[in-house]
Amino acid sequence: MRGRQSANLCLFLGPAMVLLLLFFIAPVIVDLIISFTDIGRTLRITEFTTAQFERMFTRDSRLTKSLAITLVYVFFTLAIFNVTFGLVLALTTTAVSERLGAFFRSVWLLPRMSPSVVYALMWLWVVDPAERGLMNQVLLAAGLDPVDMRSNAPVLLIVIANGFIGASMGMIIFTSAIRSIPEHLFHAARADGAGALATVRHVTLPAIRWPLSFITVYQTLSLLVSFEYIWLITDGGPFYDTTVYALYVYKRAFENGQYGYGAALALVLVLVGIAASLLMWRFFDMKRLLQQPRIEVH
Amino acid sequence: MARIELSGIRKEWGEVVAVEDMDLVIEDGEFVAVLGPSGCGKSTTLFMLAGIYAPSAGVMRFDGSLVNEVESRDRNVGIVFQSYALYPHMSVRENIAFPLRFKKVPDAEARRRVEAIARLVQVHDLLDRRPGEMSGGQQQRVALARALVKEPQLLLLDEPLSNLDATLRLTMRTEIKRLQRQLEVTTILVTHDQVEATTMADRIVCMSKGRIEQVAAPAELYARPASLFVASFVGAPPINVLAGRAEGAEVVVNGLRLGRVGEGGAAGEVVLGIRPEHIRFDAHGLAGRIDQIEPMGRETLYLVETPMGGVRVLEGGAGVRFALGDSVRIGFRPEDSLLFDRESGALVPGARVAPPAG
């Protein structure tokens, strides 16, 4: 019986464990090891040292600034787009007719479906500071002055560019969550005298509490580490104004060839990620989301 | 309390017609059951009354005033749903108080009313529980309290007992009826269960395929069904249905000639209906053979093979007094026979059939 049990364990949990080990745990260990070396552009390790950490804590003035930018970027992208706007899209597209709702959901999925580079190039055209930029064409046609978002509001630009993509994930998850609410609850609320807003507040939102928590946690983590659109649209600029932490790590390691230092910086991201997940796990009481298995295994 | 008037009500979903040509008047304080199989349009009718669906055509009046365009919340209608539809994240107290929130009832009065209604349906000990922590019967009572707390002019019950077990169903049946009497609220019960309808309602609206088949008091619906559908749907075990042909003064069933009595003038294809309890064993009746026996405690149901076809006979108070294969003779009183037109399904009023002699 005992042998059978461990065989089952290997069989069912094995593949997932192997993947987790190969792609999540092993890289962290490799990163940890590299961060204690002096590996650089020559890819040669001459000594094991704590010099990278000394540098990080004493001489890197960019580090804290970059963390602060990350905080602003993650918070506003989440708060405005990935959660709030995703929810608004889900609520509105489920309230209109099925066909119209599906149409708008598809429209909002387009940014996610287009290749990153194409999407970034579109944004570059939209915010082009010259008169040919789409936004400036609109502003000029409306009799307003042209603007240069990339220079004057770069953080807002990266928040919007990422948010337009990020909102669709929440939209899809929330849409299916709203659809799974028994229709009778909406009928009951209507007969009880609740208007549209009261129904959202008292019926819809409480019912999609878990998807809301999940999207918040998941998107926080994914925003923390993703930087490709920022890299493509502003390249972290002007100066370092939109260099979020993940991009900073990338630049140090791969653009400056300081692999050892990059590895040390990346460890901070791992720690921030773990801390953020644990905090939110607590905050949203996600333990209650875990359900007892319905099938007992002996 | 309200008098409900429906005239020419119709509801269609694209090509599908869910309710058609519905004319119905429900008196103030009356308890009416809408009875029919699933898909007959009874729930659609209920949702139209609640203001959740808008009728495609027709006029709907509460106490004489047109309500077709009136929003659900302004109709003052209480509904109990089949699934109860309690808000899962709210306590019982919050659930019951929910409708009052939108009626701008002052807090103190709302609390008093919630407690009074909770006491009435006997859930006052459960006010701080969540719906998920209660049994089906308790949830049912809370749903009733929520529907009643706003003192509705119309109470709608959508299959309210179908999710309860048999014993509880019996208790709730009695209780809902008692509450309705006490509050004198006009009530419409939608159900597919004939026992629920006949035991609770003052009048029954029997529906089939989106149309009203008959509106009558329970006893009349049973004794004088207006159509073959009503006759077959109401009554358990079901009525015996025998196809035949009316030929002059006779009805021919399966080659057997039965004499016509009474004044009803049926012709052509007909259906003869006789309830199982109206057929009795009779030494001078039609010969047959016991084909199946179903003891049901107080009564016994026999299936008897006769020259007319298979006939169900329900006999009470005599125990099981025949065995399989026994030769028996059966008969019935002409006044218990019903004759329907096979084409339209309508009852041929006054038409009776005399039992064949052995």
ipTM: 0.81
Chain B residue closest to A205 (CA)?
B89
The Cα–Cα gap between A95 and A87 comes to 12
Note the residue count of chain B.
Answer: 358
The total of other beta-carbon atoms located within 10 Å of residue A106's CB is: 12
Q: Do A193 and B89 touch (CB under 8 A)?
A: no
**Are residues B211 and B76 part of one domain?**
yes
**Are residues B184 and B253 part of one domain?**
no
Query: Which of B212, B229, B246 is the last residue before a domain boundary?
Result: B229
pLDDT (0 to 100) of residue A60? 82
Angle at A87 between CA A207 and CA A213, to 5 degrees: 55
pLDDT (0 to 100) of residue A48? 80
Residue A43 has pLDDT above 80, yes or no: no
DSSP-based three-state secondary structure for B138? helix
Interface test with A, best of B46, B53, B71, B81 (most A CBs within 10 A): B81
* Residue B60 dihedral angles phi and psi, to the nearest 5°: -125, 120
The number of helix segments (H) and strand segments (E) in chain B equals 8, 20
**Are residues B224 and B114 part of one domain?**
yes
Measure in Å the smallest separation between the Cα of A125 and chain B Cα atoms: 46
Residue A88 has pLDDT above 70, yes or no: yes
The Cα–Cα gap between B146 and A221 comes to 43
Residues of A within an 8 Å Cβ radius of B: 182, 184-185, 187-195, 198, 202-203, 206-207, 209
**Are residues B66 and B192 part of one domain?**
yes
Summarize pLDDT for A198-248 with one digit per residue, the tens. 999 999 999 998 899 889 989 999 999 889 899 998 888 788 888 888 999
CB A53 within 8 A of CB A265: no
**Are residues B117 and B51 part of one domain?**
yes
Chain B residue closest to A187 (CA)?
B52
pLDDT (0 to 100) of residue A42? 78
B358 inside domain: no
Angle of helix A98-113 relative to helix A86-95, nearest 10 degrees, comes to: 150
B217 inside domain: yes
CB A244 within 8 A of CB A66: yes
* Residue B229 dihedral angles phi and psi, to the nearest 5°: -60, -50
Question: Both tokens of residue B210?
Answer: 């989106």
The Cα–Cα gap between B222 and B219 comes to 5
Q: Do A191 and B73 touch (CB under 8 A)?
A: yes
Summarize pLDDT for B40-66 with one digit per residue, the tens. 999 999 999 999 999 999 999 999 899
Measure in Å the smallest separation between the Cα of A280 and chain B Cα atoms: 21
Nearest to A184 among B77, B83, B98 (CB): B83
Residue B160, CA distances (Å) to B19, B129, B142, B156, B193 in order: 21, 21, 12, 9, 11
pLDDT (0 to 100) of residue B275? 94
Measure in Å the smallest separation between the Cα of B122 and chain A Cα atoms: 21
Question: Both tokens of residue B221?
Answer: 């619906």
Q: Do B87 and A182 touch (CB under 8 A)?
A: no
pLDDT (0 to 100) of residue A297? 63
pLDDT (0 to 100) of residue A57? 84
**Are residues B267 and B126 part of one domain?**
no
Measure in Å the smallest separation between the Cα of A195 and chain B Cα atoms: 8
Residue A80 has pLDDT above 80, yes or no: yes
CB B73 within 8 A of CB A191: yes
Measure in Å the smallest separation between the Cα of A57 and chain B Cα atoms: 48
**Are residues B259 and B223 part of one domain?**
no
The Cα–Cα gap between B55 and B74 comes to 17
Sign of CA dihedral A111, A117, A123, A126: negative
Please tell me what DSSP assigns to residue B5.
E
**Are residues B223 and B282 part of one domain?**
no
> In chain B, which residues have their Cβ closer than 8 Å to the Cβ of A187?
47, 50, 52, 79, 81, 85
Instruction: For residues A28-33, give the mean pLDDT.
Output: 90
Partner A contacted by B199 (CB < 8 A): no
Summarize pLDDT for B288-319 with one digit per residue, the tens. 999 999 999 889 999 999 988 899 999 988 88
pLDDT (0 to 100) of residue B156? 95
Residue B264 has pLDDT above 90, yes or no: no
Summarize pLDDT for B219-232 with one digit per residue, the tens. 999 999 999 999 99
Residue B89 has pLDDT above 70, yes or no: yes
**What CATH number belongs to A62-285?**
1.10.3720.10
| Structural domain total, chain B | 2
Among residues B161, B166, B195, the alpha carbon closest in space to that of B176 is found at B161
pLDDT (0 to 100) of residue B279? 93
pLDDT (0 to 100) of residue B110? 93
> In chain A, which residues have their Cβ closer than 8 Å to the Cβ of B86?
188
Nearest to B50 among A182, A191, A203 (CB): A191
pLDDT (0 to 100) of residue B261? 76
Chain A residue closest to B77 (CA)?
A191
**Are residues B303 and B156 part of one domain?**
no
The number of helix segments (H) and strand segments (E) in chain A equals 17, 0
Nearest to B81 among A188, A195, A202 (CB): A188
B341 inside domain: yes
Question: Both tokens of residue B76?
Answer: 């003052």
Query: Which of B229, B257, B284 is the last residue before a domain boundary?
Result: B229
Summarize pLDDT for B332-358 with one digit per residue, the tens. 998 899 999 988 889 988 888 888 765
Instruction: For residues B102-121, give the mean pLDDT.
Output: 91
> In chain A, which residues have their Cβ closer than 8 Å to the Cβ of B44?
none
B38 inside domain: yes
Q: Do B98 and A187 touch (CB under 8 A)?
A: no
Residue B211 has pLDDT above 60, yes or no: yes
> In chain A, which residues have their Cβ closer than 8 Å to the Cβ of B73?
190-195
Q: Residue B184 sits in which domain range?
A: 4-229
Question: Both tokens of residue B54?
Answer: 């808008």
* Residue A211 dihedral angles phi and psi, to the nearest 5°: -55, -35
Partner A contacted by B276 (CB < 8 A): no
Summarize pLDDT for B78-88 with one digit per residue, the tens. 999 988 999 99
The Cα–Cα gap between A187 and A176 comes to 19
pLDDT (0 to 100) of residue B227? 94
Chain B residue closest to A208 (CA)?
B89
**Are residues B289 and B205 part of one domain?**
no
Question: Both tokens of residue A59?
Answer: 């001489």
Looking only at the bridges linking them, the beta strands covering B327-332 and B211-216 are: unpaired
Q: Do A206 and B87 touch (CB under 8 A)?
A: yes
Residue B231, CA distances (Å) to B224, B259, B304, B339 in order: 8, 22, 20, 11
Instruction: For residues A270-284, give the mean pLDDT.
Output: 89
Nearest to A188 among B85, B102, B150 (CB): B85
**Are residues B284 and B141 part of one domain?**
no
Please tell me what DSSP assigns to residue A252.
I
* Residue B155 dihedral angles phi and psi, to the nearest 5°: -110, 125
> In chain A, which residues have their Cβ closer than 8 Å to the Cβ of B78?
191
Query: Which of B229, B248, B277 is the last residue before a domain boundary?
Result: B229
For residue B331, the domain's CATH number is: 2.40.50.140
Question: pTM for this structure?
Answer: 0.80
Measure in Å the smallest separation between the Cα of A184 and chain B Cα atoms: 6
For residue B126, the domain's CATH number is: 3.40.50.300
Looking only at the bridges linking them, the beta strands covering B186-191 and B154-158 are: parallel
Q: Do B85 and A203 touch (CB under 8 A)?
A: no
User: Percentage of residues in chain B with pLDDT exceeding 90?
Assistant: 63
Residue B325, CA distances (Å) to B246, B299, B304 in order: 32, 19, 9
**Residues in contact with A105: Cβ distance below 8 Å, sequence separation at least 6, in sequence order:** A89, A93, A168, A171, A172, A175
Q: Do A192 and B82 touch (CB under 8 A)?
A: no
Q: Do A184 and B87 touch (CB under 8 A)?
A: no
pLDDT (0 to 100) of residue B8? 93
Question: Both tokens of residue B15?
Answer: 């090509």
Query: Model confidence at A18, in pLDDT bands (50, 70, 90)?
Result: very high
CB B11 within 8 A of CB B44: yes
Q: Kindly report each contact of residues B173-181 with a partner whose C-beta sits within 8 Å and lies 24 or more positions away, as own/partner.
A: B173/B199, B173/B200, B175/B121, B176/B144, B176/B200, B177/B31, B179/B120, B179/B121, B179/B144, B179/B148, B180/B31, B180/B155
Which residue do the tokens 């080659």 mark? B255
Q: Which residue has the higher pLDDT, B206 or A150?
A: B206
Nearest to B85 among A185, A193, A195 (CB): A185
**Are residues B152 and B34 part of one domain?**
yes
The Cα–Cα gap between B278 and B276 comes to 5
B210 inside domain: yes
Domain boundaries, chain A: 62-285
Summarize pLDDT for A162-186 with one digit per residue, the tens. 999 999 999 999 999 999 999 999 9
Question: Both tokens of residue A178?
Answer: 């709203």
Residues 11-70, chain B: which have Cβ within 8 Å of A?
Answer: 47, 50-52
Residue B262 has pLDDT above 80, yes or no: no
CB B32 within 8 A of CB B201: yes
Q: Do A190 and B88 touch (CB under 8 A)?
A: no
